[in-house]
Structure 1
């Protein structure tokens, strides 16, 4: 290992955690109030709101890979600084929109950046730790970001309680201020964070069949998160006698489980056998959770409430195991110097799911038992397929053996 590599890996990662937290706080404030902002503050119709949010989602898929390639050419520090500055400007513009066209343009710009920033923060962070600690480091970052998203909902809730246009706009201005803080923190990254990586990442990704298979598997697996966030709320309010506030409870329960257990459950996922076991276990838990959900229709409000809690716990635990396992398996197939583009591609797996998943899930809720049984079978099959995910290339295994030997000496 060269002196430069040593400096890169030992540089403090605190600034990356700070950026990740500030970014999550800003996004949490926006996501928790975006629909009502577009309704109450700008007066858009339901159809226009749907178009604005859909445009933002599609734009996020288009922006991820070009942003990753830019970071590999110009360096993470420079690109992140520019991206957060643009995001700040986009949110200030969004806070002042008065027409459908203005909202569409501002949301499109913000959307282009939404799936590009996260992979840059992640790749910059794990470049400062040993490979065997990368998954745990990412788990800590995701735990912090989940806490930030939850905390961001508090000022959004205050704006919703006030119900005035100025309150919604103030939340967006506050989000923009947080993104401006991210610019300042990014400019303070160590010089090694600005070092460009290798170019031609897209071609290498397309040749990396094992990584592409894991990315596709991850995208399919993450339908379990949407099942919890979309399918269960629809089922609770339409098909059960559970109180409507149960919908909020399961979201809080999911956040608490993620924050409490994500780091702990990710331990050992850098090993191929452990990564496969986590993915398989996550698929089986998600399948069991889906199978439990329709039992809520069989009893009174108290029984339905208890079943909802059990199902939410199973799906939340499955989500944690899936995330840890797929991240560990994916990192084993990412060549050195190409983390940014590969992590962006992995993130696209979930991005595509957020576009195609909602209509699939909302439709399946109407199929009642058949729909939930179908999801249970789907996740069970995915879990079994995960056992066949290939291990790391021979080159990586040799490097890991050399690292273990050097550590022993």
Structure 2
């Protein structure tokens, strides 16, 4: 599945390292919060189940509302300024969240935190790829995703300790630690180069440019549909394991661990070569087929007991995880080919909206599929297989597929393509 002809992206040095540092620190802080958010609102803040659902749902909705305004602000004022302000606000929101004692306070703090949650990532990504040659942008983003997945996993460790203790002060201490990490991110952002992504006063890309970029919008929608496979693994599999199989309950942790290990180990490697559209199409196609196969395997748990069920669960988790890796690599590579130079911030924000919308509408669809047992999993298998076939028809960009960076020569580019 790998492309050995494609060279790995060169490590980012100098100011570019700051983007990785911010991405990692941000992921650790978010991992700490996401691992205990439900139990914090229940045990420490004393909210009812209905109130917990409203708070988390509101945070999800506000996250969609903030994406494009944040991107437009970055295009006008620059990534460095906007990220610094956003992390300072996020720090304040988490300080407030750690001290909440009522439904109203929790709702306000979660809404503010959610408003920023989907907008920060694209800004970090656009700033990062502005520091590397265009042919290495996919590898740089893959490395960032690897770091962020590792950071999210690391953030779950202190959260697990707080959950084990079960004390309100422990929950609040974890949120305070998250706030401190976000403050550190703001400080690091102050050291970003001023030209990381230049303010758009000189050549301000208009939002209408994204709306007219139909191939890019097609890819954004395709990416959003494809990422239902990630939610199927994160939501559908745990529900199926505890409700419909004889596999041990700790299988849920095994599924999560397998996914994290595979992402950290393979994301960068599988992203190589996706700066070429044929390679990106192939990865999306293969990813769709792997996701389809993973979904089709799940109902086989009806044939065995605890041991065989565990084997089926592990096999399905590996297939879905590999499918997710190929899908993300292929979609990201193809999307970057359709983003005009200098308009990365707004386009990356719009691209991430595909996944953001999926996280809002996807859980109910997946829950309904689990309720329909084998018929639901078969439907998902057919769905992902169809997406894989559609991915083979992704249109080519109007501009040349691979724009050369300052360190690359036409001869070297032709050698790689060959």
Are 2:277 and 1:259 equivalent residues in the alignment?
no
- 1:396 is aligned to 400
The DSSP-based 3-state class of the residue aligned with 1:193 is: coil
- 2:130 is aligned to 127
Q: Which runs of 5+ in 1 are unaligned?
A: 1-8
- 1:66 is aligned to 69
- 1:164 is aligned to 167
- 1:147 is aligned to 150
In the TM superposition, what is the alpha-carbon distance from 1:10 to its structure 2 partner?
7.5
- 2:327 is aligned to 322
Q: Please, which of 171, 190, 194 is the counterpart of residue 193 of structure 2? A: 190
In the TM superposition, 1:267-346 aligns within 5 A as 267-346=272-351
Hey, what's the Cα distance between the residues in 1 that align with 2:402 and 2:40? 54
- 1:19 is aligned to 22
So what's the TM-score if we normalise by structure 1?
Answer: 0.95
Are 2:368 and 1:363 equivalent residues in the alignment?
yes
- 1:111 is aligned to 114
Hey, what's the Cα distance between the residues in 1 that align with 2:413 and 2:382? 45
- 1:136 is aligned to 139
Are 2:54 and 1:51 equivalent residues in the alignment?
yes
In the TM superposition, what is the alpha-carbon distance from 1:408 to its structure 2 partner?
7.4
Hey, what's the Cα distance between the residues in 2 that align with 1:111 and 1:336? 29
- Structure 1, residues 292-334: CA drift from partner, whole Å, max 9, x if none? 0010121010000001000000000000000000000000000
Hey, what's the Cα distance between the residues in 2 that align with 1:223 and 1:270? 24
The DSSP-based 3-state class of the residue aligned with 1:133 is: helix
Hey, what's the Cα distance between the residues in 2 that align with 1:368 and 1:82? 47
CA contact (8 A) 2:15 2:192 kept: no
In the TM superposition, 1:210-221 aligns within 5 A as 210-221=215-226
So what's the TM-score if we normalise by structure 2?
Answer: 0.93
CA contact (8 A) 1:253 1:313 kept: yes
In the TM superposition, what is the alpha-carbon distance from 1:12 to its structure 2 partner?
3.4
The DSSP-based 3-state class of the residue aligned with 2:339 is: coil
- 1:234 is aligned to 239
- 1:384 is aligned to 389
CA contact (8 A) 1:11 1:128 kept: no
Question: RMSD in angstroms over aligned alpha carbons?
Answer: 1.6
- Structure 2 CA distance for partners of 1:398 and 1:251, relative to 1, 3 Å: closer
Hey, what's the Cα distance between the residues in 1 that align with 2:253 and 2:26? 23
Are 2:208 and 1:203 equivalent residues in the alignment?
yes
In the TM superposition, what is the alpha-carbon distance from 1:199 to its structure 2 partner?
2.5
Are 2:43 and 1:40 equivalent residues in the alignment?
yes
Hey, what's the Cα distance between the residues in 1 that align with 2:96 and 2:86? 15
CA contact (8 A) 1:10 1:129 kept: no
Task: Point out the structure with the larger helix share.
Answer: 1
- Structure 2 CA distance for partners of 1:408 and 1:176, relative to 1, 3 Å: closer
Hey, what's the Cα distance between the residues in 2 that align with 1:10 and 1:407? 22
In the TM superposition, what is the alpha-carbon distance from 1:371 to its structure 2 partner?
0.2
- Structure 2 CA distance for partners of 1:334 and 1:297, relative to 1, 3 Å: same
In the TM superposition, what is the alpha-carbon distance from 1:392 to its structure 2 partner?
1.9
- Structure 1, residues 263-297: CA drift from partner, whole Å, max 9, x if none? 00000011000000000000000000000001012
The DSSP-based 3-state class of the residue aligned with 1:191 is: coil
- Structure 2 CA distance for partners of 1:59 and 1:201, relative to 1, 3 Å: same
Hey, what's the Cα distance between the residues in 2 that align with 1:191 and 1:205? 25
The DSSP-based 3-state class of the residue aligned with 1:199 is: coil
CA contact (8 A) 2:291 2:381 kept: yes
Hey, what's the Cα distance between the residues in 1 that align with 2:119 and 2:86? 9
CA contact (8 A) 2:80 2:189 kept: yes
In the TM superposition, what is the alpha-carbon distance from 1:182 to its structure 2 partner?
0.3
CA contact (8 A) 1:69 1:199 kept: no
Hey, what's the Cα distance between the residues in 1 that align with 2:357 and 2:87? 23
Q: Please, which of 181, 187, 210 is the counterpart of residue 178 of structure 1? A: 181
- Structure 2 CA distance for partners of 1:119 and 1:265, relative to 1, 3 Å: same
- Structure 2 CA distance for partners of 1:68 and 1:382, relative to 1, 3 Å: same
In the TM superposition, what is the alpha-carbon distance from 1:407 to its structure 2 partner?
5.4
